[in-house]
A = this chain, B = another copy of it.
Protein backbone atom coordinates (compact mmCIF):
# COMPACT_ATOMS: atom_id res chain seq x y z
CA UNK A 1 0.00 0.00 0.00
CA UNK A 2 1.52 3.32 -0.98
CA UNK A 3 1.21 6.28 1.33
CA UNK A 4 0.35 9.86 0.63
CA UNK A 5 1.61 13.08 2.17
CA UNK A 6 -0.19 16.30 1.33
CA UNK A 7 1.03 19.61 2.75
CA UNK A 8 -2.00 21.87 2.88
CA UNK A 9 -2.57 25.60 3.28
CA UNK A 10 -5.70 26.58 5.21
CA UNK A 11 -5.50 30.29 4.40
CA UNK A 12 -5.49 32.97 7.09
CA UNK A 13 -8.59 32.06 9.09
CA UNK A 14 -12.18 31.74 7.99
CA UNK A 15 -13.63 28.73 6.20
CA UNK A 16 -14.45 30.89 3.18
CA UNK A 17 -10.76 31.10 2.38
CA UNK A 18 -10.05 27.34 2.55
CA UNK A 19 -10.01 26.17 -1.07
CA UNK A 20 -12.20 23.21 -2.09
CA UNK A 21 -9.00 21.37 -3.07
CA UNK A 22 -7.59 21.84 0.43
CA UNK A 23 -10.86 20.69 2.04
CA UNK A 24 -10.90 17.61 -0.14
CA UNK A 25 -7.29 16.75 0.70
CA UNK A 26 -8.06 17.08 4.43
CA UNK A 27 -11.17 14.89 4.10
CA UNK A 28 -9.09 12.20 2.36
CA UNK A 29 -6.44 12.07 5.09
CA UNK A 30 -6.37 9.35 7.71
CA UNK A 31 -4.20 11.50 9.96
CA UNK A 32 -3.77 15.27 10.19
CA UNK A 33 -0.61 16.82 11.66
CA UNK A 34 0.12 20.44 12.39
CA UNK A 35 0.71 23.27 14.81
CA UNK A 36 -2.04 23.18 17.47
CA UNK A 37 -3.53 26.52 16.38
CA UNK A 38 -4.09 25.27 12.81
CA UNK A 39 -5.25 21.75 13.67
CA UNK A 40 -7.80 23.27 16.07
CA UNK A 41 -9.48 25.02 13.15
CA UNK A 42 -10.60 21.64 11.77
CA UNK A 43 -13.16 19.07 12.88
CA UNK A 44 -12.09 15.42 12.54
CA UNK A 45 -14.37 13.12 10.61
CA UNK A 46 -15.09 9.63 11.97
CA UNK A 47 -11.93 7.51 12.05
CA UNK A 48 -9.60 10.43 11.43
CA UNK A 49 -6.71 11.11 13.81
CA UNK A 50 -5.55 14.65 14.64
CA UNK A 51 -2.06 15.18 16.01
CA UNK A 52 -1.19 18.70 17.13
CA UNK A 53 2.29 19.83 18.09
CA UNK A 54 4.29 22.92 18.91
CA UNK A 55 5.14 25.54 16.31
CA UNK A 56 8.89 25.15 16.80
CA UNK A 57 8.90 21.47 15.94
CA UNK A 58 8.59 21.78 12.18
CA UNK A 59 11.35 19.39 11.14
CA UNK A 60 10.29 16.74 13.67
CA UNK A 61 6.70 17.04 12.39
CA UNK A 62 7.90 16.66 8.80
CA UNK A 63 9.86 13.53 9.69
CA UNK A 64 6.90 12.07 11.55
CA UNK A 65 4.63 12.80 8.56
CA UNK A 66 7.02 10.96 6.23
CA UNK A 67 7.24 8.03 8.64
CA UNK A 68 3.44 7.72 8.87
CA UNK A 69 3.04 8.00 5.09
CA UNK A 70 5.67 5.31 4.54
CA UNK A 71 3.44 2.99 6.61
CA UNK A 72 0.79 3.55 3.94
CA UNK A 73 -1.23 6.23 5.71
CA UNK A 74 -2.77 9.24 3.98
CA UNK A 75 -1.17 12.06 5.91
CA UNK A 76 -2.17 15.72 5.80
CA UNK A 77 0.17 18.34 7.22
CA UNK A 78 -1.68 21.63 7.67
CA UNK A 79 -0.31 25.18 7.75
CA UNK A 80 -2.10 28.50 8.11
CA UNK A 81 -1.90 30.66 4.99
CA UNK A 82 0.09 29.01 2.21
CA UNK A 83 2.21 25.97 3.17
CA UNK A 84 5.04 27.10 0.88
CA UNK A 85 5.53 30.57 2.38
CA UNK A 86 7.60 30.44 5.60
CA UNK A 87 5.76 27.25 6.51
CA UNK A 88 5.70 23.44 6.52
CA UNK A 89 6.37 22.58 2.86
CA UNK A 90 10.05 23.61 3.05
CA UNK A 91 10.42 21.59 6.27
CA UNK A 92 9.09 18.46 4.55
CA UNK A 93 11.52 18.81 1.64
CA UNK A 94 14.37 19.46 4.08
CA UNK A 95 13.47 16.12 5.69
CA UNK A 96 13.33 14.45 2.26
CA UNK A 97 16.75 15.81 1.33
CA UNK A 98 18.21 14.77 4.68
CA UNK A 99 16.97 11.21 4.20
CA UNK A 100 15.75 10.51 0.64
CA UNK A 101 14.83 6.91 1.49
CA UNK A 102 12.23 8.21 3.97
CA UNK A 103 10.16 9.50 1.03
CA UNK A 104 10.35 6.32 -1.01
CA UNK A 105 7.03 5.29 -2.50
CA UNK A 106 5.20 8.26 -0.97
CA UNK A 107 2.96 10.40 -3.16
CA UNK A 108 3.88 13.91 -1.96
CA UNK A 109 1.71 16.88 -2.89
CA UNK A 110 1.41 20.52 -1.89
CA UNK A 111 -1.98 22.28 -1.82
CA UNK A 112 -1.59 26.07 -1.98
CA UNK A 113 -3.53 28.49 0.21
CA UNK A 114 -4.19 32.22 0.58
CA UNK A 115 -1.05 33.57 2.23
CA UNK A 116 -1.35 36.30 4.88
CA UNK A 117 -0.09 39.17 2.72
CA UNK A 118 -2.79 38.56 0.08
CA UNK A 119 -5.54 38.59 2.71
CA UNK A 120 -4.11 41.67 4.40
CA UNK A 121 -3.78 43.45 1.06
CA UNK A 122 -7.37 42.59 0.11
CA UNK A 123 -8.71 44.14 3.32
CA UNK A 124 -7.02 47.52 2.77
CA UNK A 125 -7.18 47.83 -1.04
CA UNK A 126 -4.35 46.82 -3.36
CA UNK A 127 -0.97 47.60 -1.78
CA UNK A 128 0.63 44.66 -3.68
CA UNK A 129 -0.49 46.02 -7.05
CA UNK A 130 3.10 46.45 -8.17
CA UNK A 131 6.47 44.72 -7.55
CA UNK A 132 6.85 43.51 -3.97
CA UNK A 133 8.82 41.25 -1.66
CA UNK A 134 8.16 39.13 1.41
CA UNK A 135 10.66 38.96 4.25
CA UNK A 136 10.37 36.95 7.46
CA UNK A 137 11.71 38.88 10.44
CA UNK A 138 12.28 35.74 12.46
CA UNK A 139 15.98 35.55 13.23
CA UNK A 140 15.71 32.04 14.63
CA UNK A 141 16.71 30.87 11.19
CA UNK A 142 18.90 33.65 9.81
CA UNK A 143 21.23 36.28 11.23
CA UNK A 144 19.90 39.81 11.78
CA UNK A 145 22.61 41.17 9.43
CA UNK A 146 20.99 39.25 6.56
CA UNK A 147 17.56 40.67 7.41
CA UNK A 148 18.98 44.19 7.61
CA UNK A 149 20.76 43.84 4.26
CA UNK A 150 17.57 42.59 2.60
CA UNK A 151 15.52 45.44 4.03
CA UNK A 152 18.00 48.00 2.66
CA UNK A 153 18.11 46.42 -0.80
CA UNK A 154 14.32 46.02 -0.90
CA UNK A 155 13.95 49.70 -0.06
CA UNK A 156 16.49 50.62 -2.74
CA UNK A 157 14.60 48.47 -5.28
CA UNK A 158 11.43 50.34 -4.23
CA UNK A 159 9.55 47.11 -3.56
CA UNK A 160 6.45 47.09 -1.42
CA UNK A 161 7.64 45.02 1.56
CA UNK A 162 5.53 42.43 3.37
CA UNK A 163 6.99 41.53 6.77
CA UNK A 164 6.03 38.11 8.10
CA UNK A 165 6.64 37.13 11.74
CA UNK A 166 7.32 40.77 12.68
CA UNK A 167 7.45 40.16 16.43
CA UNK A 168 7.14 37.50 19.08
CA UNK A 169 7.48 37.33 22.85
CA UNK A 170 11.08 36.23 22.43
CA UNK A 171 11.94 39.11 20.09
CA UNK A 172 9.63 42.08 20.71
CA UNK A 173 12.19 44.62 19.39
CA UNK A 174 12.76 43.11 15.95
CA UNK A 175 10.11 45.16 14.19
CA UNK A 176 11.34 48.39 15.79
CA UNK A 177 14.83 47.62 14.52
CA UNK A 178 13.42 46.99 11.04
CA UNK A 179 11.63 50.34 11.04
CA UNK A 180 14.85 52.01 12.16
CA UNK A 181 16.69 50.53 9.16
CA UNK A 182 13.89 51.50 6.78
CA UNK A 183 13.72 55.07 8.10
CA UNK A 184 17.28 55.57 6.85
CA UNK A 185 16.28 54.72 3.27
CA UNK A 186 12.55 55.45 2.88
CA UNK A 187 10.67 58.73 3.32
CA UNK A 188 8.97 59.30 6.72
CA UNK A 189 5.56 59.63 5.00
CA UNK A 190 5.85 56.12 3.48
CA UNK A 191 2.55 54.29 4.01
CA UNK A 192 2.68 51.42 6.54
CA UNK A 193 -0.18 48.98 7.15
CA UNK A 194 -0.58 46.80 10.26
CA UNK A 195 -2.96 43.95 9.50
CA UNK A 196 -3.78 41.84 12.54
CA UNK A 197 -5.65 38.51 12.73
CA UNK A 198 -7.17 39.03 9.28
CA UNK A 199 -10.23 36.86 8.76
CA UNK A 200 -10.77 36.28 12.48
CA UNK A 201 -13.42 37.90 14.68
CA UNK A 202 -10.90 40.25 16.24
CA UNK A 203 -9.25 41.38 12.99
CA UNK A 204 -7.95 44.93 12.69
CA UNK A 205 -6.22 46.99 10.01
CA UNK A 206 -4.39 50.21 10.81
CA UNK A 207 -2.75 52.58 8.37
CA UNK A 208 0.07 54.81 9.50
CA UNK A 209 3.37 56.19 8.22
CA UNK A 210 6.94 55.02 8.61
CA UNK A 211 7.53 58.00 10.93
CA UNK A 212 4.84 56.80 13.33
CA UNK A 213 5.07 53.03 12.78
CA UNK A 214 7.24 52.24 15.80
CA UNK A 215 4.45 53.22 18.21
CA UNK A 216 2.01 50.62 16.82
CA UNK A 217 1.24 47.35 18.58
CA UNK A 218 2.64 44.37 16.70
CA UNK A 219 2.59 40.67 17.56
CA UNK A 220 2.81 37.18 16.03
CA UNK A 221 -0.61 37.54 14.42
CA UNK A 222 0.32 40.80 12.65
CA UNK A 223 1.46 41.21 9.07
CA UNK A 224 3.16 44.51 8.27
CA UNK A 225 3.12 46.05 4.80
CA UNK A 226 5.50 48.89 3.97
CA UNK A 227 4.61 50.85 0.86
CA UNK A 228 6.86 51.67 -2.06
CA UNK A 229 7.41 55.28 -3.09
CA UNK A 230 4.29 54.99 -5.26
CA UNK A 231 2.00 53.43 -2.65
CA UNK A 232 -0.68 55.84 -1.57
CA UNK A 233 -3.50 56.18 0.91
CA UNK A 234 -6.71 57.53 -0.53
CA UNK A 235 -9.95 58.43 1.15
CA UNK A 236 -13.27 57.42 -0.31
CA UNK A 237 -16.27 59.77 -0.15
CA UNK A 238 -17.54 57.85 2.92
CA UNK A 239 -14.26 58.53 4.73
CA UNK A 240 -12.97 54.97 4.40
CA UNK A 241 -9.22 54.78 3.82
CA UNK A 242 -7.77 52.59 1.10
CA UNK A 243 -4.14 51.85 0.32
CA UNK A 244 -3.00 50.89 -3.14
CA UNK A 245 0.07 50.79 -5.34
CA UNK A 246 -0.52 51.91 -8.94
CA UNK A 247 0.16 49.36 -11.66
CA UNK A 248 2.63 51.67 -13.37
CA UNK A 249 5.97 52.86 -12.03
CA UNK A 250 7.63 56.07 -13.01
CA UNK A 251 11.19 55.96 -14.29
CA UNK A 252 13.96 56.69 -11.81
Contact = CB atoms under 8 A, between A and B. Distances in A.
A222 interface: no
A250 B14 CA distance: 36
Interface of A: 9, 11, 14-21, 24, 58, 82-87, 89-94, 96-97, 100-101, 103-105, 108-115, 118-119, 121-123, 125-136, 140-143, 145-146, 149-150, 153-154, 156-159, 232, 234-238, 242, 244-252
Contact of A100 (B94, B236, B246): B236
Given A11-B19, A123-B110, A248-B141, A93 B234 contact: yes
A169 to B, nearest CB: 20
B249 A141 contact: yes
CB-CB nearest 4 A-B residue pairs:
A90-B129, A16-B21, A133-B133, A89-B126
8 contacts: A16-B19, A84-B122, A93-B244, A94-B246, A103-B236, A110-B126, A112-B122, A150-B159
A7 to B, nearest CB: 8
Q: How many chain copies?
A: 2
A127 B93 CA distance: 10
Given A85-B118, A237-B105, A133 B110 contact: no
- Interface of chain A, helix or strand or loop or mixed? mixed
Nearest to A252: B146
B90 A130 contact: yes
B133 A132 contact: yes
Given A90-B247, A129-B84, A136-B130, A153 B145 contact: no
A149 B141 contact: no
Nearest to A120: B112
Contact of A128 (B17, B84, B135, B249): B84
